[in-house]
Structure 1
Amino acid sequence: MKQIVIIHGGSSFNSYENYLNHLKSSQLHYERLLWSQKWRDWLAQEIVDTDVLLPDFPNKQNASYAEWKIYFEKLLPLLGDDVQLVGYSLGAMFLAKYLHESPLSSPVRRLVLVSPCYDDESVEDLGSFRVTSAAGLEKSAKEVHLFHSKDDPVVPFTELAKFQRDLPTAKLHIFEDRNHFFQPTFPELKELLEQK
């Protein structure tokens, strides 16, 4: 059975106080409260010959690496022998950190990291997801792909170079104007995931 696992983004804070301050200072935007299609859901509808899994990791508003690790390790036994892992933003950081610390016993077909942060101090808080090294991820995946846009306002484009340093064989997918991939569709990612 072919499977694609897409791990969503989120926020992580260095302290509970920082999280509360963020809640107090951030504004709600009416437009963001309306339903809008996300590329994760679009991919699940568009890719028909593969099980696209969209797990909801715990507490995405104030995520804890330890909690996500427990959840991910419960997910691993459900995976078969033809798996592609996609991490987006905080989800990409999680996969980089987890697979660096705990390489998979059997590599997945493809690992895709979309807009991952590494350790940039300008990013508000990285909490327990800060990446210290992404070296060795190729032990857990036959292919590693990195997606980033030069105009990303959430994760500086300079973070890509840190992943490139640790993963010199990774394939790069660089965009000029995709922001933080806040978009309803993602045809380039679909095309990659459908490749044999």
Structure 2
Amino acid sequence: MLNFVLLHGKGGLKKDGWFTEVKRFAMSKNIPVLSYSFPVVGNISYLDWKKMFELKILPYLSKDTIMIGHSLGCGFWQKYMTENNIHTPIREALFISPAVKSRGIPLIEDFFKTPFIYENITKSANKFTIIAGKKDQYIDSSLFEFLAKKIGAKLFLYEDMDHMSQGKYSNHPELISYLKKNY
């Protein structure tokens, strides 16, 4: 059965914005949504995220899963899939403004200490899509292009969009449009 898994970024799960919009869309289509709040206060630890992921999310991944990750959630997915084989690829990994490296932000360096193995990452999903903006204040758009090439992702790069967590794009109209078109 088709299901969505949401992996948030450093800002956590917000009660408004795109998480709410995705959940609303999923409810209208009777698509189950799985999301948990990873630790985002103090020293953000990859190992803490990994423990929670393996306990709360990993058992529910299937060939029918659409993983929708934002920012650090995508960085987590890349690191986890570099280190682990999930055996059955999910249907799609949908990266929203994906973090590709720490960019000098000490709070998230733990997720990017070792290089990603893109061959392993590509085995985690049957399809990869990246939705991002050229006006992202945290991640240079060239990194979205780099990642798209490395994992064979379809890249939707919008001219006037920022990190997709603030301002007029906080509800992700492009993401919701993509989901409506594809699911």
Unaligned segments of structure 2, at least 5 residues: none
Q: Kindly name which structure, 1 or 2, has the bigger radius of gyration based on alpha carbons.
A: 1
For residues 134 and 105 of structure 1, the distance between their equivalents in structure 2, rounded to whole angstroms, comes to 16
2:75 to 77, 93, 106: 93
Corresponding residue SS for 1:142? coil
Opposite residue 35 of structure 2, the aligned amino acid is L
Q: CA deviation at 1:76?
A: 1.2
> How large is the Cα RMSD of the aligned pairs?
2.2
Unaligned segments of structure 1, at least 5 residues: 12-34
Q: Is the 8 A contact 1:42 1:185 kept in 2?
A: yes
Q: Is the 8 A contact 2:133 2:162 kept in 1?
A: yes
1:185 partnered with 2:168: no
1:127 partnered with 2:109: yes
1:53 partnered with 2:30: no
Q: Is the 8 A contact 2:6 2:34 kept in 1?
A: yes
Partner of 2:22: 43
Partner of 2:153: 170
2:91 to 109, 114, 126: 109
Equivalent residue pairs, number: 171
TM-score normalised by L of structure 1:
0.77
Residue range with higher mean Cα deviation, 73-82 or 170-179: 73-82
For residues 191 and 58 of structure 1, the distance between their equivalents in structure 2, rounded to whole angstroms, comes to 30
Q: Percentage identity across aligned positions?
A: 28
Q: CA deviation at 1:187?
A: 2.9
1:64 partnered with 2:17: no
For residues 87 and 143 of structure 2, the distance between their equivalents in structure 1, rounded to whole angstroms, comes to 28
Partner of 1:150: 134
Q: For the structure 1 residues 162 and 77, does the alpha-carbon distance in structure 2 shift closer, same or farther, using more than 3 Å as the test?
A: same
Opposite residue 75 of structure 2, the aligned amino acid is M
Corresponding residue SS for 1:127? helix
Q: Is the 8 A contact 1:117 1:155 kept in 2?
A: yes
Corresponding residue SS for 2:93? strand
Q: CA deviation at 1:80?
A: 4.2
Q: Is the 8 A contact 1:10 1:62 kept in 2?
A: no
For residues 76 and 55 of structure 1, the distance between their equivalents in structure 2, rounded to whole angstroms, comes to 12
Opposite residue 6 of structure 1, the aligned amino acid is L
1:79 to 58, 61, 65: 61
Partner of 1:17: none
Partner of 2:5: 5
For residues 42 and 156 of structure 2, the distance between their equivalents in structure 1, rounded to whole angstroms, comes to 28
Q: Is the 8 A contact 1:42 1:184 kept in 2?
A: no
Q: CA deviation at 1:162?
A: 2.8
Corresponding residue SS for 1:112? strand
Q: For the structure 1 residues 8 and 120, does the alpha-carbon distance in structure 2 shift closer, same or farther, using more than 3 Å as the test?
A: closer
